[in-house]
Amino acid sequence: MLKNKALVRLTFLGAAIAWLVLLFSDITILFSSLQGLHPDVPMWLPRVMLGVYIVSLYYYYKLRIELDDSLNFTDLLWKVFATGLITTVVSLGFRLLVFLLGKSALASNIVFSDFICQVNLALFINFLIAAYTSWKRLILYHKSKWLFRTWTVFEIAFFIILVYDSAGIILSETNTTIIYLVVGLLILVLSANMRWVAYLNFKQKWTSLLLLLLTFFYLTYFFYTVERSTENIAKATELLAKESSVFLDYRNQLLVIALFMFICMYGVFSFLVILFNLPTSSVFEQKLEEVVNYQRISQSIQTEQNEESVYNILLESSVSTVFADAAWLEIISASNEHKMYTYRVTEQESKNIKEHLEKNHVKGVLDGGSEKTKNLSKHLASMKNSRFRSILAFPIVVKEVNIGTLALLKELPEGFNKEMTRIVSTFANQAGISIENFRLMEEAFQNERYKEELKIAKTVQQSLLPNKLEEDNDFEIVAFSASADEVGGDYYDTLRINETTVALIIADVSGKGTTAAFHMSQMKGIFHSLAQQHFDPKEFMQRANQALVYCLERGSFISASYFVVDTENKKVKYSRAGHCPVLYFHSGDNQSKFLKDRGAALGMVRSKDYSNYVETNELTYSAG
């Protein structure tokens, strides 16, 4: 970046120095010739300095305009306009100076006139080079190999002409004509490249036409000014010095004339092409807007956070595409709730229109009885106290189910054509697909979230189950738990109350997933707090039920079996709260049986009457 800025300053400085040397040498030669003296500077110096001035300006604008990627098409024309404005204002400033001098000796002095002429010529060339670099950017937009090669030949031709001009080689009239024909042919070929015009919108085209008109004004002004001043000096020097070559005459510079031809011809071609493209601009812009709106609806699944955003995009895109005066979008949810999205129409107005169509027995999209687009415009003609005379309705279909209706309104009768119907129908279909994809994506997210919750719940469940159970010389407790795909509420635990007493609980929490894991943790806390107080099983169940009533939501419960093993007296007291009956095996007679007891699950009875639904049972055991 710094290097580029340094080069810009360097080329500008080079152009300024070259012009100052050109001005000094040209005035010196003219003054010496008028005085009949031999000039102290070479006669070729002004021509060479003019070449250096042109090359320096070319690279200056190349760095500022041609290589600036941030400039768009209208920006390039604005650059040309701004350069022309500045150079014209400076030229008019010198013209005002000459006017103020009137018929004074300085105003009629040939050397002073030559100074003014060279200033105008330098400004003219500066404007031509600025326009040249801008035209180059426009011509080479979307360039092909053939176009690039043609432009390269064109620039080489200009460089050769510059060398001839700087060397002062005098060409015959025939050779000059041939050069002009070749350059003119290349200009015609290059002027046919107007691809950039297609990318201008209606407003930009009008702006470009205005800027090109001002460019033509600058060109006309400078050509007239330089031509007139050059002609006056030529006549004066021919009369006094008998030699018209004692000053720098632009008419002997083929490159300046060729540049002028190129700028004028491409400017005229651009003006005409833009002018003839104006009638089709709105059509192209509308088609482009349709594509952009379709893309917005298609990409809404990636960019938006909820379905409402898709509905709003559909409503905005449809209204802008068909130039509707108003619209509404009615969506019916899975719970049969109606939600309205409106644009410049009230819900009451939309309700009146639907009632009017229903009253006139109009069957179609608005009543959800059709899956096809309906142009219902003719039915609004008889509707009183309504500002709308045209209506176009579209169903929103997701998985072959009509979930809503899009209605577009216009105040003019027969305001919708087939093209409008086709494009908005496409929008509605694409919106249905986007909503379906959005719902599938939301479902996938929910499933993924549920899997993550299950993973957490399984981890919690495993942490709630004891790694090691209590054991004694009289008994051994073994437990096995295998988790299914879903997290259950199976819970078991033991607690040593004293040296001879151990509490055991087996429980099952209703429900699955994280809720079951949460209730398991509650049951674990209740077990550890109550078991340590050495309540008998019935009292334990009563207090556990009282605690869980405030924790469990209605419909949830916990079944449990609570045992207290007394190894000193060889007894087991137990109580069952809705859990599976205990299967008891007696090794003495080699028989097994289900223990007969009763009890309601914890949380099922939410009152003090729970004590009537639970009891304490007792059995004795012996070794073996």
The verdict on 379 and 476 lying in the same domain is: no
484 or 471, which is more confident: 471
> 113 Cβ partners below 8 Å, 6+ apart?
229, 232, 233, 236
The verdict on 147 and 186 lying in the same domain is: yes
Cβ neighbourhood burial of 319 (10 Å; 0-12, 13-18, 19+) = buried
Express each pLDDT in 314-363 by its tens digit: 888 888 888 899 999 999 887 788 899 999 999 999 988 888 888 887 77
Residue 2, pLDDT > 60, answer no
- Amino acid in position 381: A
Residue 292, pLDDT > 70, answer no
Closest C-alpha among 568, 554, 565 to residue 605: 554
237 or 288, which is more confident: 237
The verdict on 272 and 347 lying in the same domain is: no
- In this prediction, residue 215 carries a pLDDT of 95
CATH number at 496 reads 3.60.40.10
268 or 393, which is more confident: 268
What backbone phi and psi angles, to 5 degrees, belong to 622? -135, 170
The verdict on 190 and 326 lying in the same domain is: no
- In this prediction, residue 483 carries a pLDDT of 64
Cβ neighbourhood burial of 550 (10 Å; 0-12, 13-18, 19+) = exposed
pTM: 0.56
Closest C-alpha among 57, 49, 45, 81 to residue 8: 57
The CA–CA distances, whole Å, from 505 to 264, 413, 494, 581 equal 101, 80, 6, 13
Please answer whether residues 297 and 314 qualify as being in contact, where contact means their C-beta atoms are separated by less than 8 angstroms.
yes
How many angstroms separate the CA atoms of 488 and 603, rounded? 18
What single-letter DSSP state applies at residue 579? S
In a domain, 246, yes or no: yes
The verdict on 209 and 130 lying in the same domain is: yes
In a domain, 147, yes or no: yes
The verdict on 191 and 251 lying in the same domain is: yes
The verdict on 217 and 116 lying in the same domain is: yes
Rounded to 10°, the helix 110-139/2-34 angle is: 150
In a domain, 294, yes or no: no
- In this prediction, residue 299 carries a pLDDT of 61
The verdict on 360 and 249 lying in the same domain is: no
Domain boundary among 408, 442, 476: 442
Closest C-alpha among 434, 453, 346 to residue 396: 434
Residue 485, pLDDT > 60, answer no
- Token digits for 465? 């189950």
Highest mean pLDDT among 67-81, 99-113, 185-199, 269-283 belongs to 185-199
- In this prediction, residue 287 carries a pLDDT of 58
Closest C-alpha among 435, 57, 39 to residue 246: 39
**Mean pLDDT computed over every residue of the chain:** 84
In a domain, 210, yes or no: yes
Cα Rg of the chain, angstroms: 48
Of the chain, the percentage scoring pLDDT greater than 90 comes to 30
Q: Please state the domain count of the chain.
A: 3
How many angstroms separate the CA atoms of 370 and 336, rounded? 18
Residue 206, pLDDT > 50, answer yes
What single-letter DSSP state applies at residue 467? S
Domain boundary among 442, 475, 492: 442
In a domain, 459, yes or no: no
How many angstroms separate the CA atoms of 535 and 564, rounded? 9
CATH number at 406 reads 3.30.450.40
What backbone phi and psi angles, to 5 degrees, belong to 569? -100, 5
Residue 53, pLDDT > 90, answer yes
- In this prediction, residue 302 carries a pLDDT of 58
> 622 Cβ partners below 8 Å, 6+ apart?
570, 588
Predicted confidence band of residue 562 (pLDDT cuts 50, 70, 90)? very high
- In this prediction, residue 243 carries a pLDDT of 46
Domain boundary among 220, 246, 279: 279
The verdict on 123 and 261 lying in the same domain is: yes
Predicted confidence band of residue 515 (pLDDT cuts 50, 70, 90)? confident
Pairing of strands 501-509, 338-343: unpaired
- Token digits for 565? 């093993």
In a domain, 76, yes or no: yes
The verdict on 23 and 135 lying in the same domain is: yes
Token pair 């008109």: residue? 213
Domain that holds residue 519: 465-620
Report the residue count for the chain: 624
How many angstroms separate the CA atoms of 84 and 72, rounded? 19
In a domain, 136, yes or no: yes
What single-letter DSSP state applies at residue 536? -
The verdict on 42 and 89 lying in the same domain is: yes
The verdict on 363 and 500 lying in the same domain is: no
207-232 average pLDDT score: 92
In a domain, 451, yes or no: no
The CA–CA distances, whole Å, from 220 to 119, 124, 414 equal 17, 10, 51
